[in-house]
Amino acid sequence: MANPAKKTVFAPWDDTNEKPLITFEGVTKKFGSFVAIDDLNLQIYTREFFALLGPSGCGKTTLMRMLAGFETPTQGRITLAGQDIGPVPPNKRPVNMMFQSYALFPHLTVWDNIAFGLRRSDMPRDQIPARVEEMLRLTRMEKFAQRKPHQISGGQRQRVALARSLAKAPKLLLLDEPLGALDKKLRHDTQFELMDIQEKTGTTFVIVTHDQEEAMTVASRVAVMNQGKVVQVSTPDRIYETPATAYVADFIGEVNLVEGVASPNPAGGYAIAWAEGQAPIVSACDKSIAQGARVSFAIRPEKVRITPDRPEGAQNAMQGKVHDIAYLGNISTYHVLLPTGQIIKAQTANSRRVENREFTWEDDVWLSFTDTAGVVLTE
């Protein structure tokens, strides 16, 4: 306590000496003429908890299946620890997968399900029970070892599937929507449990999800995918704060997108003309954007202040009318209608009781934000 060890930030992707565990080099996967994965490049590092995030059908499962060995790339190559895994069959890869459907063997007990992979490995027979017990303890399933999969709950099945895929201590664990079948509360608990297990075992995890909150919670880095392409790979906070494209901004959390024309300010940053008769939005963005380029200005609702009067010295301020209020318990989102017809969302914490809130429908309000609150996006 007296002398806490200095915490080193886990960021192998920023370290040029670090070699990635997995690389995708120009990988394309076609089903017939349909392109499921389109010229994809990606690096995943040892001990990472890497999330693939994207809408249904964007190719997440296909990407996982290529890592596990059930699909071969049409073009490009995938390496694991520097070795091209193209010709290696699934049963010879140091990779295990937890299937979306769990795929537990219904005719085997929980114990035998977990031991299944160990019995196919070169682990000496007498060491298998100890390893199975260890996995049962890790997933807190000791009491259910002799049950069959249909005799346990959905959440317990999920843990058995996890235990089974971790038992062989793979270099890489693939989890395809592992929490998809669980209810919200259990999902939250299990997310933290997964992170805990990942840390304890030191395994590299690649998790697929279409739930952005889940990706943000568990992952060290998130890859946002769209139609077979990776749009952005970054840490959760970077993805949230500095999305690369309007698609990413819109996909992750709530966002206000205002389209306009950028022109550089002499003092740095840009002024974005977005509507006739409205002051341009000032943004201290350091990207280089051509004069007159069409851009989207993206700002998160919680970064927009809502006040009854024009705030003093605000860098950006606009007037509007409260059009709608979404009350979410801890926070409220105000949908403010601007004279231009656009709706801007502003979020505030509900520190007062609902009956005493400051604004109500049809009130005139001011929205304001600083020049660093939003980002300028060219795509």
Partner 1 sequence: MQLRRTFLILVPYLWMLLFFLVPFFIVMKISLSQVALAIPPYTPTLDITQGWDGLVKFFSQLSFSNFQFLTTDDLYWRAYVSSLEIATVATAITLLVGYPIAYGMASAPDEWRPTLMMLVILPFWTSFLIRIYAWMGILGREGFVNSTLEWLGIIHEPLTILNTNWAVFIGIVYGYLPFMILPIYAALDKLDVSLTESAQDLGCTQIKAFWLITVPLSRPGVVAGCFLVFIPALGEYVIPSLLGGSGTLMIGKVLWEEFSSNRDWPVASAVAVVLLLILVVPIILFQRNQQRQQEAEQ
Ligand X SMILES: Nc1ncnc2c1ncn2[C@@H]1O[C@H](COP(=O)(O)OP(=O)(O)O)[C@@H](O)[C@H]1O
* Contact residues: Mg ion, CB under 5 A: 61
Please give the residues from 70 up to 99 whose contact with partner 1 meets the rule CB under 8 A: 70, 89-91, 95-97, 99
62 contributes a contact to ligand X by CB under 6 A: yes
Count of alpha carbons within 13 Å of 360, Cβ hemisphere only? 4
116 versus 247: smaller Cβ distance to ligand X: 247
31 contributes a contact to partner 1 by CB under 8 A: no
- The site partner of 344 among Mg ion, partner 1, ligand X, none (C-beta below 5 to 8 Å per kind) is none
Closest to 47 (Cα-Cα) out of 219, 178, 304: 219
Which one among 22, 27, 36, 346 touches ligand X, defined by CB under 6 A?
36
Cβ partners under 8 Å of residue 90, min gap 6: 68, 69, 70
Q: Cβ 7 to partner 1, closest distance in Å?
A: 36
Which one among 22, 40, 53, 58 touches ligand X, defined by CB under 6 A?
58
75 versus 121: smaller Cβ distance to partner 1: 121
Q: Cβ 325 to ligand X, closest distance in Å?
A: 35
Q: Which stretch binds partner 1 (CB under 8 A): 31-39, 160-168, 227-235, 262-270?
A: 160-168
Query: Is the Cβ–Cβ distance between 106 and 160 less than 8 Å?
Result: no
- What CA–CA distance (Å, rounded) separates 313 from 315? 6
Residue count, binding to ligand X (CB under 6 A): 11
The pair of structure tokens assigned to 364 is: 């005139």
Q: How far is CA 96 from the centre of its chain?
A: 21
Site residues (CB under 6 A) for ligand X?
A: 31, 34, 36, 54, 56-62
Residues that bind partner 1 in the complex, under the rule CB under 8 A: 68-70, 89-91, 95-97, 99-101, 103, 105-107, 116-117, 120-121, 150, 164-165, 168
